[in-house]
Structure 1
Amino acid sequence: MFIIISLMKYYKKCLLLAVLVPVLSGQLLAQNPLIRNMYSADPSARVLGNRVYIYPSHDILAAPGKGRVGWFCMEDYHVFSSDNLTDWTDHGVIVSQNKVPWVKPDSYSMWAPDCIYRNGKYYFYFPSTPKDTVTYGRNFAIGVAIAAKPEGPYIPQSTPIKGVHGIDPNVFIDKDGQAYLYWSAGNIYGAKLKDNMLELASEPVILKELPAKGLKEGPYLFERNGIYYLTFPHVEGKIERLEYSIADNPLGPFKMTGVIMDESPTGCWTNHHSVIAFKNQWYLFYHDRDYSPDFDKARSIRADSLFFNADGTIQKVIRTFRGIGVTNATANIQMDRYSAKSGDAAIDFIDTTNKFIGWKTILDKPNAWIQYNTVDFGKNAAKSVNIRAVSTTGATLVIRTKDASGPVLAEVMIPKGSDWSTVKKSIAAVQPGIKNLVLQLKSEGKVEVDWISFK
């Protein structure tokens, strides 16, 4: 499917091709947030083969007769995958609320899921509201859908897992082959799973060694070097931060150890996450409210690198816009997803009526700059640069490598005008390989930049 977000209401028809959202055949080109054509939250990332698959929940905006207005509203699940952590493919909807036999119709409560591989099958775990409250109770239940491929199609089981009442399922398979299910319902619970991955093999236990006060939810357990890390969002103040405890057993006892990520500076009161190792690097996947700064029930998934200390403790992860992955120099490089910037460089939405179009960089003071790291110029030397920009005053931009005082690749004059345009300019020779890029305003005036790209 070729998805085009039309700006014909806002720009001249001849400029339409320059403002295509980069989504071709389900492919998304992304930094943070990772998914840039819809709201997404609660990312469960899994390494399956040579790709990373993300199973998030899918926020939509509630409306009268469609969910509870002002609250979380979710009706289905997508799955996304990538082999380079930069180009993400949307494989489409894998489970919908009204196609699951036990789920209450139109309940819009398809909350945080998880997925895991075992014995040639993929097991997708998800919570929702049951329609049979006599059998399953009035609280959330957790069901399973099964597929032969990580992207589906998934076939939901006719009933949820017996004896499990809660949300935020997480599944872990230990080195001895024993599978465990974790979930939250006021407390965080854990239990062994039978080999069929559909039934509990032990009675649920409350993991009591966690903080006694404040909301705890969203458990995610992983193992590294014999240490079992139970990670979870916890509200100590007003909004959630990501914390963790450690043990030498998948069911504890656990010892509270530290904070993985502080509370969101945007005020998004939830966070929900997963932790994976891919190609010798660890990553934290999480969410914030990038596309919905005024409403934190419409969230977007993100990822940043995660590092361990020598003793196995986790270094606190700092949120970035740049995120993860290497960006090809020939792609449209979104400088607004920056690695660093001067204090007088600003970021804003291109169009506040359609935020999925993305952001722009605003430079309006001489020497204001923005930096974007880890750009791959490949094996062949680039010869030119394209910049999509607009300047009502006219302005001159300098493109550098390395940092704000690094070698100059080009000076580009952005003509005076009120419409977005793409300006092409030859560049000085740039050696192949990975570079950091800096865009700097040289002149007086004001310029807004959508993206830059090298050819």
Structure 2
Amino acid sequence: MMIQPLLKKILFVILVFSLARSGYAQNPLITNQYTADPSARVFGDRVYIYPSHDILCTEGKGRIGWFCMEDYHVFSSSNLTDWKDHGVIVSQDKVPWVDPAGYSMWAPDCISRNGKYYFYFPSRARDTVANGKGFSIGVAVSDTPIGPFVPQSEPIKKVQGIDPNVFIDKDGQAYLYWSQGNIYGAKLKENMLELASDPVILQELPSEGLKEGPYVFERNGKYYMTYPHVQNKIERLEYAIGDNPLGPFRKAGVIMDESSTGCWTNHHSIVNFKKQWYLFYHHNDLSPNFDKNRSIRADSLLFNTDGTIRKVIPTLRGIGLSSALKEIQLDRYSDLSRNGVKVDFLDTANRMMGWKATLAQSDAWIRYNAVDFSVSKLKKLHVRAWSAQGAVLEIRVNKIDGPLIDKVNIGSSTDWKLVTSSKASVLRGVHDLFVVLKSADPVSVDWIRFEK
């Protein structure tokens, strides 16, 4: 007789997690699979991200303890908050020249020209006699940004290396960049499939330490060569500026410092979307103990008046407005009180379920910025929380002692519960949310959501 209520509870939990983990949280952008090396592109009114796809190597499947990648997905968004997975676009067993047991589909790129979309990707070739040892770079072509992409039968001739990047200058000339010890560049033919010039080593970049992952863009007549570089033991993102797409470039500074938690790699792209520049990069958020399984992130990027780039400080909040009607992940906070707040995984056995924020002492608080309340006046507030002794939360806007939206009593429980209040009241517009603990006993919060 207890089967039906238990089944309802299980279905409810599945529904809650499927909704909460579908991409509403900010950094990392994708939480249902590992993603790395994001190549972001603006096509039309959407941002498309072409990342590599980390998986865990197992016996007979890649090199255990190393990077392992067998295919590519593409993701897109119109608002930088909700990301749609369009599925696999290229896989190692569907490319004629790629070793189908190589698991080395590393960092890619994509570009649009003359109504076609050209997807560039590196991998190990099955025929090393014809294509050379190490990595080659191939191209797959599509009529749309999401495919289907048709791979060419052979990789690009005279190109050996990884991390392809393509840039089309204002005069229509296309360039291909890649790395193999040094960073190389060459002109591309109009067909985007062949080199139009011999490769050259780009000059005036750091001579010591690993450098890879080139990404070139133009702004105000200046060409920015950006790249990860190992100055010490961990990659940091650096850049150089030149007057020509093939340099020479002068070293200009650091875009992002080394990972504070020890993630060895970083790999990035930079785009301008709706008059704002963004940096896309990766970190091992979902795999803190193994930095070969990474997750893509994004943060705003700003320029100084002289054209230099302001250093980007990584955030959990990331970019985009969060709709008040969708789950707001407080653990992806903008700021929090110095004491009394802890963020941890909901389940360390399944980290892709995401995180929770625990407020452990009275007056501890979390700020989550840029929540969109532009819809009709909202009256209901849902909080997914857990407190063993029970707790009281105040929800305010714009500052810690700002206008009170609601005061929510979280009853005592032995597991997560959904608490609903019908007293919420907030003006339309975009506001920062403050969640403040107003009781002595701790509470863990997964998310909050508003309703009409």
User: What TM-score does the superposition give when structure 2 sets the normalisation length?
Assistant: 0.96
1:125 pairs with 2:120: yes
- Residue of structure 1 equivalent to 2:417: 421
Q: Distance in 2 between matches of 1:60 and 1:212?
A: 32
**CA-to-aligned-CA distance 1:32-89 (integer Å, 9 cap, x gap):** 0001110000000000011000000000000011110000000000000001101111
* 1:430 CA drift (Å): 1.2
Q: 2:267 aligns with which of 269, 272, 291?
A: 272
Q: Distance in 2 between matches of 1:335 and 1:48?
A: 31
- Residue of structure 2 equivalent to 1:19: 16
- Residue of structure 2 equivalent to 1:377: 373
Q: How does 1:79-98 map to 2 (within 5 A)?
A: 79-98=74-93
* Range 297-306 or range 379-388, more displaced: 379-388
- Residue of structure 2 equivalent to 1:298: 293
* 1:379 CA drift (Å): 3.5
- Residue of structure 1 equivalent to 2:253: 258
Q: Is the 8 A contact 2:345 2:355 kept in 1?
A: yes
What is the DSSP-based 3-state SS (H/G/I as helix, E as strand, rest coil) of the residue aligned with 1:22?
A: helix
Q: Distance in 1 between matches of 2:16 and 2:380?
A: 20
Q: Distance in 2 between matches of 1:232 and 1:250?
A: 14
1:56 pairs with 2:51: yes
Opposite residue 381 of structure 1, the aligned amino acid is K
Q: 2:25 aligns with which of 13, 25, 30?
A: 30
Opposite residue 355 of structure 2, the aligned amino acid is W
Q: 2:391 aligns with which of 395, 407, 412?
A: 395
Opposite residue 350 of structure 2, the aligned amino acid is N
- Residue of structure 2 equivalent to 1:446: 442
Distance 1:388 1:299, change over 3 A: same
Q: Distance in 2 between matches of 1:34 and 1:413?
A: 31
1:364 pairs with 2:348: no
**Pairwise CA RMSD of aligned residues?**
1.5
**CA-to-aligned-CA distance 1:151-183 (integer Å, 9 cap, x gap):** 000000000000000000000000000000000
Q: Distance in 2 between matches of 1:63 and 1:428?
A: 50
1:331 pairs with 2:337: no
**CA-to-aligned-CA distance 1:269-324 (integer Å, 9 cap, x gap):** 10000000000100000000000000000000000000000010000011000000
Q: Is the 8 A contact 1:141 1:160 kept in 2?
A: yes
User: What TM-score does the superposition give when structure 1 sets the normalisation length?
Assistant: 0.96
1:168 pairs with 2:163: yes
* 1:429 CA drift (Å): 2.7
- Residue of structure 1 equivalent to 2:351: 355
Instruction: Name segments (4+ residues, structure 1) moved above 6 Å.
Output: none
Q: Distance in 2 between matches of 1:134 and 1:440?
A: 65
* Range 395-404 or range 281-290, more displaced: 395-404
Opposite residue 195 of structure 1, the aligned amino acid is E
Q: 1:208 aligns with which of 175, 183, 203?
A: 203
Q: Distance in 2 between matches of 1:41 and 1:243?
A: 18
Name stretches of at least 5 consecutive residues in structure 2 with no aligned partner.
1-5
Among the aligned pairs, what percent are the same residue? 64
Q: Distance in 2 between matches of 1:453 and 1:389?
A: 12
What is the DSSP-based 3-state SS (H/G/I as helix, E as strand, rest coil) of the residue aligned with 1:28?
A: coil
Name stretches of at least 5 consecutive residues in structure 1 with no aligned partner.
1-7
Q: Is the 8 A contact 1:30 1:88 kept in 2?
A: no
1:45 pairs with 2:40: yes
- Residue of structure 2 equivalent to 1:5: none
Q: Distance in 2 between matches of 1:299 and 1:21?
A: 21
* 1:378 CA drift (Å): 1.4
- Residue of structure 1 equivalent to 2:192: 197
**CA-to-aligned-CA distance 1:110-155 (integer Å, 9 cap, x gap):** 0000000001100000000001111111110000000000000000
**CA-to-aligned-CA distance 1:338-373 (integer Å, 9 cap, x gap):** 000112211000011111110000011111111100
Give the total of aligned pairs. 445
Q: Is the 8 A contact 1:122 1:147 kept in 2?
A: yes
Q: Distance in 1 between matches of 2:184 and 2:438?
A: 58
Q: 1:155 aligns with which of 138, 141, 150?
A: 150
Opposite residue 378 of structure 1, the aligned amino acid is S
What is the DSSP-based 3-state SS (H/G/I as helix, E as strand, rest coil) of the residue aligned with 1:38?
A: coil
- Residue of structure 2 equivalent to 1:404: 400
